[in-house]
Structure 1
Amino acid sequence: MDSLPINLIIFSGVLLLVLLAATVLQIILSTRQNKNLGLILPAANILFSLTAIFGFANFAGSFSLDVIMTSLMVFFIYNIPTLILLLIYYICRKKIDSKKDIDKMNIQDL
């Protein structure tokens, strides 16, 4: 029983590192020249949430109102990271687009 807090601390640390790595990867992919690279992680997260929903619905066995409401709740909860990744994507793309506009204005001034 003494190892439970240590395991929880290790798990929390690993989870924090994975979230930090995913955020850094999203920033790197979002700042690339190809616009579609920044959409890879959000798309993967949406597919993961759909897999969770279909797995839950298959496990439940029936499509009652409770199963549908729980599936919707699971879908929204699983897609919170998707919204965060999309927010990172749009912030990075906005900075790149404004930089391109400034470069265009500077070229026109010449």
Structure 2
Amino acid sequence: MENTFFAIILFLFLIGGSIGLQIFLSNKQNKWLGLIIPMICFMFSLLMVANIAVFTTFTSTSKTEIINGEAVTQEVSHSEASASLGEILSTVIPVFIISNISTLIFYAIYLGCREKRKKNLELEKMSIQDLE
């Protein structure tokens, strides 16, 4: 029970910290800094899709006989499974969409912060012009 509570608290701190970091980077003058976290999330989603494609086409099996607590023989066989394109796509597309939810959230934070920054810069320019 304590481990679960600790894991939940740690998870919430990681999520809060990453959102705070995204807001901090998005408010910087360099517009590319705010795109770092969404790009990392997008790369992880591509990695997940690539792993699905690899592991649905190759299978390996192993057999080990244990006699008196010792492994005597081990056979490893590799085979190529013939999964159809439709089966692979029906697995890959939902995984790609679900794994990009974090990318969309971080990108929305980026767009919101950049829009607010742009608005504030325009207000500053207007106030400077009014002073002149």
What TM-score do the two structures reach when normalised by structure 2? Answer: 0.75
Structure 1 runs, 4 residues or longer, greater than 3 Å off: none
**Residue 77 of structure 1: aligned partner:** 98
User: Take 1:77 and 1:50, find their aligned partners in 2: how far apart are those partners?
Assistant: 12
What's the CA shift for 1:6?
2.9
What's the CA shift for 1:49?
0.3
What's the CA shift for 1:65?
1.1
RMSD: 1.2
Identity of aligned residues (%): 37
What's the CA shift for 1:63?
4.6
- Higher deviation after alignment, 11-20 or 39-48: 11-20
User: Take 1:69 and 1:40, find their aligned partners in 2: how far apart are those partners?
Assistant: 30
Greater Cα radius of gyration, structure 1 or 2:
2
User: Take 2:21 and 2:36, find their aligned partners in 1: how far apart are those partners?
Assistant: 10
1:10-30 Cα deviation digits (max 9, x unpaired): 222211111111001001100
Ranges in structure 2 where 5+ consecutive residues have no aligned partner: 58-82
Q: Which amino acid aligns with 2:91?
A: T
Q: How does 1:49-88 map to 2 (within 5 A)?
A: 49-61=45-57, 62-88=83-109
For the Cα contact (< 8 Å) 1:57–1:63, is it kept in 2?
no
What's the CA shift for 1:94?
0.9
User: Take 1:51 and 1:98, find their aligned partners in 2: how far apart are those partners?
Assistant: 37
Structure with a larger share of its residues in strand: 2
What TM-score do the two structures reach when normalised by structure 1? Answer: 0.90
Structure with a larger share of its residues in helix: 1
User: Take 1:99 and 1:31, find their aligned partners in 2: how far apart are those partners?
Assistant: 11
1:80-108 Cα deviation digits (max 9, x unpaired): 01111011111111111001101111122
Aligned residues: 106
| From 42, 49, 55, the counterpart of 1:46 | 42
Q: Which amino acid aligns with 2:11?
A: L
User: Take 1:47 and 1:17, find their aligned partners in 2: how far apart are those partners?
Assistant: 23
What secondary structure, in the 3-state scheme, does the structure 1 residue paired with 2:28 have?
Answer: coil
